């Protein structure tokens, strides 16, 4: 039995938290909360697989001051393990470490076997190539006492003669290497020339002896939750490797504003987060290069997209101004810099390009998605939504385009849901509820069968059934609405308890039992409220943009982002996440921001296109719009209090509107009254 005075422990990156008595082992706390921490030795401190790290600092959002003083000192078991095997500095064995005070505990990704499934894959589209990098092989005249031109000068002469390159700027780090490289190559060398703008001087950024025909680039999307990277051959245009990992900054805060708060409250906060994200990008670079058998030194160009706060932290810019009105960006235009300036583990002379940001909370990732999907290139009215911790919305066509952001928070990613978790093996990802019996069936990541199919139990025993990920959260709330478990205003109807044992009394409210196993998985009233708040914020932002354009409907909807790829359009509309539209016109486009980065990497003309387009996109700040609050209130209802959904109604049988008055759906045997709209 826990007490309100017991220490509060928050596990990252899952976001699960709970209070535990002093003296509880960190491993026991993790298991109680359903946080996956591997332990092969059964807590004997011999396998070393249960390593964790304690994060120090003030975490304002959670009201936690975490410190290594809040965990028991290293004991004899850990000392014995450290004598036999190495344990990284700052790590502890969770089976031996005991909770003494409030803690933020990081479960390092390299210790997790069933790691998060990073769902950001490369596109199968092809694009015209016009990269900023050109490899130029030349054979240089040997030195001649009668022609006292320097070695570099003779190299430049041949680059102009053979390649038409004039007035070349040579990177400083190459100057000491030119003579040695020329002689090593027997006077034949390959120069890597970078030229982004046609009007700019060509830059020599790398030089190899002999013929060198390897040139690669990376396109990277720095999301607040995950980082995705594509490794690309600049010579063929092929994506040769793609991978992703969790953004390590999540330990400083799940949502963007909590990370800004961390910077404000911790003197070294900005440096710590900048270092963390750059290290993660370097790890990811090593990973994709190993997968493709590529030398990181052959990466000569890199394009990045990110939301404004990630963008600033990646570049080493304090994001504090983005945490308060007027949400001023330090820089909004495209960024050109060098890999060595931001400590990237690629070629020393490699160039970096960051797409422009659209507004204070509509970043380079939204610009990348816009470049990828091209609302500005068509006549149809397109709604482009990237559902993340902070939803970014672009709406328009070739005539006019507007953009805004909406603070949806991390609920869709499971962080504010009682049994929520990120998309990993064992997470429920699909849900259906029988409207007559209220019995559910569901699908789990890592298991092919649905829960009512033969072989499911055996397969699920291997992964476990550990929680609900984002796509299932949307589906289960929508299915609860369609089956009458929750009302139009989002109240779990306690009157349904007589119909099914799955409606559980939970104090003054009710919950829905989705799975009763080793871990009981329920959807509580608070969970439904968290989803309502998130979806209402998104819908209100969309509706505000529609009003700005003077339109009542949209022609086509595109879900961008890893999460958007796994949203079922029907359930998104039933929930009221997006406006009414033909279901066939609602499509997931995957990591559109990453695709935009890929386009800008492969063709510098796309860089000019998005730079020009961003100047024409009208930015709407939802926080300053007086009508936003009313739109938000209307959007709390399922699917919406005032907006009709005729196209959805033609495809799905929506329940009769049922509104439970305040207090109804609660326990205590109160008389129930229903009104019909």
Average pLDDT, the chain: 88
Is residue 236 packed enough to be buried (19+ CB in 10 Å), middle (13-18) or exposed (0-12)?
exposed
Of 247-251, 323-327, 592-596, 672-676, highest mean pLDDT = 592-596
3-state secondary structure of 675: strand
**What pLDDT digit, counting tens, does each position of 448-490 carry?**
999 999 999 999 998 899 999 888 999 999 999 999 999 999 9
The mean per-residue pLDDT over the stretch 60-77 comes to 89
Q: Report residue 60 CA to chain centroid gap.
A: 22
What integer pLDDT is reported at residue 675 of this predicted model?
38
Among 99-113, 255-269, 312-326, 352-366, the range scoring the smallest mean pLDDT is: 99-113
What integer pLDDT is reported at residue 422 of this predicted model?
75
What integer pLDDT is reported at residue 214 of this predicted model?
86
Task: Assign 42 a pLDDT band (cuts: 50, 70, 90).
Answer: low
- The residues pairing with 227 across neighbouring beta strands, listed in sequence order, are 222, 245
Task: Assign 120 a pLDDT band (cuts: 50, 70, 90).
Answer: very low
Give 114's DSSP letter: S
Give the count of beta carbons closer than 10 Å to the beta carbon of residue 111: 19
C-alpha span between 468 and 29 (Å, rounded): 19
Give the count of beta carbons closer than 10 Å to the beta carbon of residue 205: 24
The pLDDT of residue 423 is above 90: no
Looking up tokens 């439904």 gives: 528
- CB–CB of 424/413 below 8 Å? no
Among 95-109, 273-287, 598-612, the range scoring the smallest mean pLDDT is: 95-109
What backbone phi and psi angles, to 5 degrees, belong to 58? Answer: -95, 125
- CB–CB of 377/632 below 8 Å? no
Angle, helix 269-292 to helix 256-265, in steps of 10 degrees: 130
Q: Which structure tokens are listed for 289?
A: 């290069």
What integer pLDDT is reported at residue 666 of this predicted model?
45
Q: Which helix (H) or strand (E) holds 404?
A: strand 401-406
Task: Assign 96 a pLDDT band (cuts: 50, 70, 90).
Answer: very high
Among 115-119, 267-271, 635-639, the range scoring the smallest mean pLDDT is: 115-119
Task: Assign 38 a pLDDT band (cuts: 50, 70, 90).
Answer: low
Give the count of beta carbons closer than 10 Å to the beta carbon of residue 533: 18
The mean per-residue pLDDT over the stretch 517-529 comes to 91
What backbone phi and psi angles, to 5 degrees, belong to 188? Answer: -110, 125
Who wins on pLDDT, 44 or 544? 544
The mean per-residue pLDDT over the stretch 501-525 comes to 92
| Burial 279-312, CB ≥16 within 10 A → b, else e | ebbebbbebbbeeeebebbbbbbbbbbbbbbbbb
Cis peptide bond prior to 400, omega within 30° of 0: no
C-alpha span between 625 and 407 (Å, rounded): 14
Following DSSP, what letter does each residue of 326-364 receive, concatenated?
T---S--S-EEEEGGGGT-SS-TT-EEEEPPP-BTTB-H
Give 7's DSSP letter: P
**What pLDDT digit, counting tens, does each position of 227-254 carry?**
999 999 998 888 999 999 988 887 787 6
Nearest Cα to Cα of residue 466 among 3, 5, 16: 16
What residues have CB less than 8 Å from 376, skipping those under 6 apart?
Answer: 370, 396, 397, 398, 401, 613, 616, 617
Q: pLDDT over 90 for what percent of the chain? A: 63
The pLDDT of residue 381 is above 90: yes
Following DSSP, what letter does each residue of 583-604 receive, concatenated?
GGGEEE-SSHHHHHHHHHHHBH
The pLDDT of residue 116 is above 50: no
Q: Which structure tokens are listed for 649?
A: 């109604």
What backbone phi and psi angles, to 5 degrees, belong to 72? Answer: -60, 150
The pLDDT of residue 26 is above 50: yes
| Burial 487-515, CB ≥16 within 10 A → b, else e | bbbbbbbbebeeebebbbebeebbbbbbb
What integer pLDDT is reported at residue 416 of this predicted model?
75
Nearest Cα to Cα of residue 558 among 435, 392, 422: 392
- The residues pairing with 98 across neighbouring beta strands, listed in sequence order, are 25
What residues have CB less than 8 Å from 52, skipping those under 6 apart?
Answer: 26, 30, 37, 91, 92, 93, 94, 97, 105, 106, 107, 108, 111
Q: Is the Cα dihedral 407, 412, 418, 420 positive or negative?
A: negative
C-alpha span between 555 and 399 (Å, rounded): 15
C-alpha span between 343 and 346 (Å, rounded): 9
Q: pLDDT over 70 for what percent of the chain? A: 92
- CB–CB of 612/371 below 8 Å? no
What integer pLDDT is reported at residue 414 of this predicted model?
64
What backbone phi and psi angles, to 5 degrees, belong to 359? Answer: -160, 180
The mean per-residue pLDDT over the stretch 394-418 comes to 84
The pLDDT of residue 11 is above 60: yes
Task: Assign 533 a pLDDT band (cuts: 50, 70, 90).
Answer: very high
3-state secondary structure of 393: strand
Among 17-26, 40-49, 147-156, the range scoring the smallest mean pLDDT is: 40-49
3-state secondary structure of 265: helix
Looking up tokens 């066939």 gives: 584
The mean per-residue pLDDT over the stretch 623-635 comes to 91
Who wins on pLDDT, 33 or 575? 575
C-alpha span between 277 and 257 (Å, rounded): 17
Nearest Cα to Cα of residue 626 among 544, 534, 551: 544
Task: Assign 674 a pLDDT band (cuts: 50, 70, 90).
Answer: very low
3-state secondary structure of 186: coil
Task: Assign 62 a pLDDT band (cuts: 50, 70, 90).
Answer: confident
Nearest Cα to Cα of residue 71 among 89, 90, 86, 44: 90
* Cα radius of gyration (the chain): 28
3-state secondary structure of 582: coil
What integer pLDDT is reported at residue 671 of this predicted model?
36
C-alpha span between 211 and 673 (Å, rounded): 82
The mean per-residue pLDDT over the stretch 75-89 comes to 85
What integer pLDDT is reported at residue 123 of this predicted model?
64
């Amino acid at each position: 039995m826990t007490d309100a005075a017991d220490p509060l422990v928050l596990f990252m990156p899952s976001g699960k938290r709970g209070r535990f008595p002093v003296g509880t082992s960190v491993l026991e706390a993790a298991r109680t909360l359903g946080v996956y921490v591997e332990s092969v030795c059964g807590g004997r401190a011999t396998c070393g697989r249960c390593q964790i790290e304690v994060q120090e600092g003030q975490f304002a959002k959670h009201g936690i001051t975490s410190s290594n003083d809040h965990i028991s000192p290293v004991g004899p078991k850990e000392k014995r393990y450290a004598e036999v095997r190495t344990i990284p500095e700052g790590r502890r064995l969770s089976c031996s470490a005991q909770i003494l005070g409030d803690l933020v505990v990081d479960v390092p990704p390299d210790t997790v076997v069933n790691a998060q499934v990073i769902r950001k894959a490369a596109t199968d589209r092809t694009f015209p190539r016009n990269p900023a990098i050109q490899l130029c092989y030349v054979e240089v005249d040997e030195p001649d006492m009668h022609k006292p031109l320097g070695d570099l000068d003779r190299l430049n002469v041949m680059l102009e003669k053979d390649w038409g390159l004039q007035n070349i700027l040579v990177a400083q780090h190459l100057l000491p290497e030119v003579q040695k490289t020329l002689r090593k190559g027997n006077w034949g060398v390959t120069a890597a020339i970078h030229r982004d703008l046609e009007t700019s001087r060509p830059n020599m950024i790398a030089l190899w002896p002999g013929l060198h025909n390897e040139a690669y680039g990376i396109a990277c999307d720095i999301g607040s939750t995950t980082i995705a990277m594509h490794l690309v051959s600049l010579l063929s245009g092929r994506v040769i490797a793609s991978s992703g990992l969790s953004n390590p900054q999540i330990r400083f805060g799940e949502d963007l504003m909590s990370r800004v708060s961390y910077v404000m409250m911790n003197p070294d906060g900005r440096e710590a987060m900048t270092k963390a994200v750059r290290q993660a990008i370097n790890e990811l670079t090593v990973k994709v290069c190993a997968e493709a058998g590529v030398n990181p030194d052959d990466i000569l160009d890199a394009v990045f997209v990110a939301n404004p706060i990630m963008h600033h932290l990646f570049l080493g810019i304090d994001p504090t101004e983005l945490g308060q009105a007027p949400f001023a960006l330090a820089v909004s235009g495209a960024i050109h810099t060098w890999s060595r300036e931001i400590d990237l583990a690629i070629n020393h002379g490699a160039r970096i390009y960051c797409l422009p940001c659209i507004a204070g909370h509509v970043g380079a990732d939204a610009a990348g998605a816009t470049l990828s999907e091209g609302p500005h290139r068509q006549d149809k009215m397109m709604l482009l939504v990237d559902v993340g911790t902070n939803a970014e919305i672009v709406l328009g066509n070739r005539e006019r385009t507007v953009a805004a952001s909406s603070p949806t928070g991390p609920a869709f990613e499971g962080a504010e849901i009682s049994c929520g978790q990120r998309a990993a093996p064992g997470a429920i990802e699909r849900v259906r509820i029988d409207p007559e019996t209220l019995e559910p069936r569901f699908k789990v990541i890592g298991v092919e069968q649905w829960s009512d199919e033969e072989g499911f139990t055996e397969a699920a025993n291997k992964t476990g059934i550990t929680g609900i990920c984002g796509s299932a959260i949307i589906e289960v709330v929508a299915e609860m609405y369609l089956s009458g478990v929750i009302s139009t205003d989002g109240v779990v109807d306690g009157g349904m308890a007589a119909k099914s044992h799955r409606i559980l009394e939970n104090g003054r409210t009710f919950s829905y039992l989705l799975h009763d196993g080793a871990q009981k998985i329920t959807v509580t009233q608070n969970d439904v409220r968290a989803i309502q708040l998130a979806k209402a914020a998104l819908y209100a932002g969309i509706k505000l943009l529609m009003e700005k354009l003077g339109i009542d409907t949209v022609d086509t909807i595109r879900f961008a982002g890893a999460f958007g790829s796994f949203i079922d359009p029907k359930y998104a509309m039933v929930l009221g996440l997006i406006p009414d539209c033909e279901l066939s016109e609602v499509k997931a486009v995957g990591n559109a921001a990453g695709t935009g980065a890929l386009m800008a990497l492969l063709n510098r003309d796309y860089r000019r296109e998005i730079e020009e387009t961003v100047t024409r996109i009208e930015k709407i700040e939802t926080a300053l719009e007086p009508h936003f609050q009313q739109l938000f209130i209307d959007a709390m209802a399922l699917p919406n209090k005032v907006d009709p959904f005729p196209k959805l109604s033609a495809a799905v049988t929506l329940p009769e509107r049922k509104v439970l008055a305040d207090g109804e759906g609660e326990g205590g045997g109160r008389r129930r009254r229903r009104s019909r709209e």
